[in-house]
Amino acid sequence: MSKVVAQIDVQDLKCEMLTNPLGIDVLQPRLSWKIVSSERNVDQKAYQIMVSSSAEKLAQNQGDLWNSEKINSSASIHVQYGGIKLNSRMRCFWKIKTWTTAGESEWSAPGSWTMGLLYYKDWPKGWIGFDRPFPGDNIKTDSRLSARYFRKEFQSTKEIKSATASIIGLGLYELYINGKKVGEDVLSPSPTDYTKNVKYNTYEVTSYLQNGKNAVGAVLGNGRFFAMRQHEKPYKIKTFGFPKMLMNINIVYTDGTSLNIDTDGSWKGTADGPIRTNNEYDGEEYDATKEFRGWNSIGFDDRKWLKAEFVQEPTGVIEAQMNENIRVMNTLKPVSIKKLSGDRYILDMGQNMVGWLQIKVKAQKGKQIKLRFAESLQENGELFTANLRNAKCTDLYTAKGGGMETWEPTFVYRGFRYVELSGYAYQPSVNDFIGKMIYDNIKTVGTFETSDALTNQIFKNAWWGIAGNYKGIPIDCPQRNERMPWLGDRGAVAYGESFVFDNGRFYAKWLQDIRNSQKDDGAIPDVAPAFWRYYSDNMTWPGAMLLVTEMLYKQNGDVSAVTDNYPAMKKWLTYMQDRYMQDYILTKDSYGDWCMPPVTIEFGRGKSADKKYPSALISTAYYYHFTQLMMQFAKAIGKEDDVKTYEILGNNIKNAFNKKYYDEKGFYASNALTDNVIPLYFGMVPKDKVATVFKNITYTVEVTNKGHLSNGLVGIQWLMRCLNDYGRPDLAYTVATQKTYPSWGYMVDNGATTIWELWNGNTADPKMNSQNHVMMLGDLLIWYYENLAGIKSEEAAFKKITMKPEMINGLDKVNASYKSIYGLIKSEYTKTPTQFKWTVTVPANTKATVYIPANSKDEVSEKMKSIMDLKFLKMENNRAIYEIGSGDYFFVVDRK
């Protein structure tokens, strides 16, 4: 084969889908890379991976950990490490070289990963903390607990080669070395059910250390460990104990010796610091007069501090956190500040956001500045707080006096657009504030823009809502006294989210949370981690486990999602079948088509939105759908027997379902939209009835609803795809661009900058509507990408892409991109009555089938090279269908 051809580049090296991760605990990590080339039709033929124990060895091509040699394979994602056994604290440096249809690449730039503390024995013996409250704390119901500070000094006298900190700080920690905060993470680690597993984080701290004396300090906050409500509803709310930590700093010297700084009896601690209370619902109180200057640096006088105590360890298994931590991901400047009565002001961030507010203030010592947060205002200009229920969402800052002071909280966040400020002796300005948006450090991988301004705004609202609700777990909402990882909400939208956010690691972690919440008998709860105990047994909420698994497999090709979760999914399906299936009808449901829009907006006024209408039609249809998913999963991991079993069960369910619910007039049950949409979209409708059922669906949407949806959480997950796939993308577009109730546009028209919980959010019972829930997005984003932009994964991870943008009157331009695990996929079109122009990018090592709207093949040209070079498949339904390999294309259709 010819030697190096410059156009082939290998980039973006990933280990377990992370860039240069530290402290992983996967023994055979999976490696992925992207091939980038200006050539077309680039496919990988072979690869060689080299893994070394040092950067120097790697540079010298000494793959002492693994040299795969040249392997003939097209695999460029999730390739499993196959070298010598990896052990605790090992450092691995790797590079990759590929042979492709367009020639051979150079070795890539190096990537790396490090191994964490793989065995329990690697950890220090003692967890430290104080397992008790202190004066000023109140742990009766709305927990008030001051943050706990710990410190220690130590000597390091030799030349340091490397130093690593491994920390489990529960509920939340901030770590400092020599006065400097370690890393950029905030609100870490990710919450888990701490009786099942606890996550550690790893940081490279070489540059934080100095020769001679060093100081390490840590602050611990409550997070979900010391729950926001204690004793409020003990039958329901789980809490785990007082904050505590386990930590090791491992310093390796150039002479080969090492030093371990561990949590042990030598630490000092206090709960009498400036953070007087930190509670995710209620807010943080910070008393700057209690600051102890220099507490996390050397030379601080800690004689008044207590001796840190050894405390009970949490029972959960210790694991590396393989998903991203939370960071400050975005900052916002307020758009206005207005005076209210007294010394109060209202700050408007211009956007419903999730995070906190940094303030700059001048005040006398002891003066208190109060910040109250809310998503919207009442008509009189005061905060609207009814929908926060009993979450106080208030920060209190006590000034130390003597000049400009800058402060932001450490261990809380909330959803807000407006802030009521009080305690100022002067009129503050918008320049005194920065809104910090906080969510998991997950990259935005999708862009989407169209010629329709409303669609663009809805997309933007979705972005803000989805990002804001990523908090190490997918929370339902960020403001009220809930913020719980409800399963049904994300079963509905995780797939759509994945087009916009690189959420593969995040959702893999959540699936683990769900697995861990499963009872021995197979029951899966409605909230996981089960911080609230709700094991109500239904198909639609726990079923998120299957829908999210499908998403991870489909979007990222992550077969481990299937392998890891298969036994739990199977056990749960058996559990539900054994207990609730009668004559193939699954009789148990909990929520029905949750939060269906009231028929008229007036009817919704003041009405409780959380009425439940359980429906065996929904539970049975979902059970059927899950048999079909299990068949796919079983195939993917080679469980042939199960494929057969689920096929037979599925057929029996389908027959019983049609017998029970199908009405000869051509609809299901009461002819409600969801009753028809789900059997049709799930493929349960007998072939000869499909057309009539679909006609009933379009009649409901078009005539009865006058172009509107009428679905709750269940139906809305499938509506857009159903309308689209059965031939009415135009009607889907009508629904998607409505401005009147009920619709996404109605929310926008009523000032929403995120997505509401309820279609009638502005007229429902005031305390019911979260203004930042993502569940009602349903399958809207999926439809945006797969059908408006035409970017759809046909074979796991977009190895095969279907590019078929729907041509819709009134929509003349769509410009979308998606960074898949193989590389960038782009689809940008503009159309006029006479011309269609379409720019397409297909990543290396993948293929796409493009459906070009044209009356005949002769209308189509390709401007970058020539249409003649492309593989024409056929004409079908006014589309010229081509199969193309990787590269950039510019198609033009001149209508004749």
> Which positions touch ligand BGC (CB under 6 A)?
476-477, 482, 486, 488-489, 591, 773, 775
Q: Tell me how far, at minimum, the Cβ of 474 lies from ligand BGC, in Å.
A: 10
Q: Tell me how far, at minimum, the Cβ of 632 lies from ligand BGC, in Å.
A: 26
Q: Indicate the residue among 149 and 591 with the shorter CB distance to ligand BGC.
A: 591
Buried residues in 860-894 as b, exposed as e (16+ CB within 10 A)? bebeeeebeebeeeeeeeebbbbebbbbebebebe
Q: Tell me how far, at minimum, the Cβ of 612 lies from ligand BGC, in Å.
A: 8
Q: Tell me how far, at minimum, the Cβ of 83 lies from ligand BGC, in Å.
A: 45
Q: Indicate the residue among 154 and 534 with the shorter CB distance to ligand BGC.
A: 534
Q: Indicate the residue among 488 and 853 with the shorter CB distance to ligand BGC.
A: 488
Task: Provide the token pair at 663.
Answer: 């009405």
Q: Indicate the residue among 44 and 538 with the shorter CB distance to ligand BGC.
A: 538
The CB-side HSE value for 374 (13 A sphere, CA atoms) comes to 19
Q: Report yes or no: 527 and 610 within 8 Å, Cβ to Cβ.
A: no
Q: Tell me how far, at minimum, the Cβ of 496 lies from ligand BGC, in Å.
A: 16
Q: Tell me how far, at minimum, the Cβ of 526 lies from ligand BGC, in Å.
A: 6
In whole angstroms, what separates CA 133 from the centre of its chain?
34
The CB-side HSE value for 630 (13 A sphere, CA atoms) comes to 26
Q: Tell me how far, at minimum, the Cβ of 448 lies from ligand BGC, in Å.
A: 25
Q: Residue 484: exposed, middle, or buried by beta-carbon count in 10 A (0-12, 13-18, 19+)?
A: buried
Q: Residue 636: exposed, middle, or buried by beta-carbon count in 10 A (0-12, 13-18, 19+)?
A: middle
| Contacts for 833 with CB less than 8 Å, ≥ 6 apart | 895
Helix (H, G, I), strand (E, B) or coil at 620: helix
Rounded to the nearest 5°, which phi and psi values hold at 35?
-100, 130
Q: Indicate the residue among 305 and 531 with the shorter CB distance to ligand BGC.
A: 531
Q: How far apart are CA 570 and CA 419, in angstroms?
A: 48
Q: Tell me how far, at minimum, the Cβ of 748 lies from ligand BGC, in Å.
A: 21
Q: Indicate the residue among 217 and 491 with the shorter CB distance to ligand BGC.
A: 491
Q: Tell me how far, at minimum, the Cβ of 597 lies from ligand BGC, in Å.
A: 16
Q: Report yes or no: 512 and 317 within 8 Å, Cβ to Cβ.
A: no
Closest CA to 127 of 259, 297, 308: 308
- Rg over alpha carbons for the chain, rounded to the nearest Å, is 29
Q: Indicate the residue among 476 and 502 with the shorter CB distance to ligand BGC.
A: 476
* CA-to-CA separations, 151 to 103, 214, 545, in angstroms, rounded: 57, 11, 42
Q: Tell me how far, at minimum, the Cβ of 457 lies from ligand BGC, in Å.
A: 23
Residue with tokens 């070395």: 177
Q: Indicate the residue among 275 and 477 with the shorter CB distance to ligand BGC.
A: 477
Q: Indicate the residue among 310 and 534 with the shorter CB distance to ligand BGC.
A: 534
Q: Which stretch of DSSP H or E encloses residue 552?
A: helix 544-556
Q: Indicate the residue among 602 and 610 with the shorter CB distance to ligand BGC.
A: 610
Q: Report yes or no: 780 and 493 within 8 Å, Cβ to Cβ.
A: no
Q: How far apart are CA 216 and CA 260, in angstroms?
A: 13
Q: Tell me how far, at minimum, the Cβ of 542 lies from ligand BGC, in Å.
A: 12
Report the alpha-carbon angle 473-375-506, nearest 5: 15
Q: Indicate the residue among 493 and 789 with the shorter CB distance to ligand BGC.
A: 493
Q: Indicate the residue among 439 and 584 with the shorter CB distance to ligand BGC.
A: 439
Q: Tell me how far, at minimum, the Cβ of 756 lies from ligand BGC, in Å.
A: 11
Q: Indicate the residue among 490 and 639 with the shorter CB distance to ligand BGC.
A: 490
Q: Tell me how far, at minimum, the Cβ of 771 lies from ligand BGC, in Å.
A: 12
Q: Report yes or no: 807 and 895 within 8 Å, Cβ to Cβ.
A: no
Count of residues making up the chain = 896
Cis peptide before 29 (omega within 30 of 0): no
**End-to-end Cα, the chain, rounded Å:** 46
Q: How far apart are CA 251 and CA 89, in angstroms?
A: 11
Q: Indicate the residue among 50 and 492 with the shorter CB distance to ligand BGC.
A: 492
Q: Indicate the residue among 714 and 788 with the shorter CB distance to ligand BGC.
A: 714
Q: Indicate the residue among 243 and 474 with the shorter CB distance to ligand BGC.
A: 474
Residue with tokens 């109605």: 746
Q: How far apart are CA 225 and CA 243, in angstroms?
A: 7
Q: Report yes or no: 124 and 247 within 8 Å, Cβ to Cβ.
A: yes
Q: How far apart are CA 63 and CA 84, in angstroms?
A: 10
Instruction: Sort residue 587 into left (φ over 0), alpha (ψ -120 to 50) or beta.
Output: alpha
Q: How far apart are CA 324 and CA 18, in angstroms?
A: 9
Q: Report yes or no: 210 and 153 within 8 Å, Cβ to Cβ.
A: no
Q: Report yes or no: 78 and 557 within 8 Å, Cβ to Cβ.
A: yes
Q: Tell me how far, at minimum, the Cβ of 461 lies from ligand BGC, in Å.
A: 17
Q: Tell me how far, at minimum, the Cβ of 32 lies from ligand BGC, in Å.
A: 34
Q: How far apart are CA 326 and CA 187, in angstroms?
A: 6
Q: How far apart are CA 281 and CA 885, in angstroms?
A: 51
Q: Indicate the residue among 145 and 528 with the shorter CB distance to ligand BGC.
A: 528
Q: Tell me how far, at minimum, the Cβ of 369 lies from ligand BGC, in Å.
A: 31
Q: How far apart are CA 357 and CA 347, in angstroms?
A: 11
Q: Indicate the residue among 214 and 481 with the shorter CB distance to ligand BGC.
A: 481
Q: Tell me how far, at minimum, the Cβ of 488 lies from ligand BGC, in Å.
A: 5
Residue with tokens 């789980």: 238
Q: What is the DSSP letter of 501?
A: B
Q: How far apart are CA 728 and CA 804, in angstroms?
A: 14
Q: How many CB atoms lie within 10 A of CB 57?
A: 16
Q: Tell me how far, at minimum, the Cβ of 64 lies from ligand BGC, in Å.
A: 51
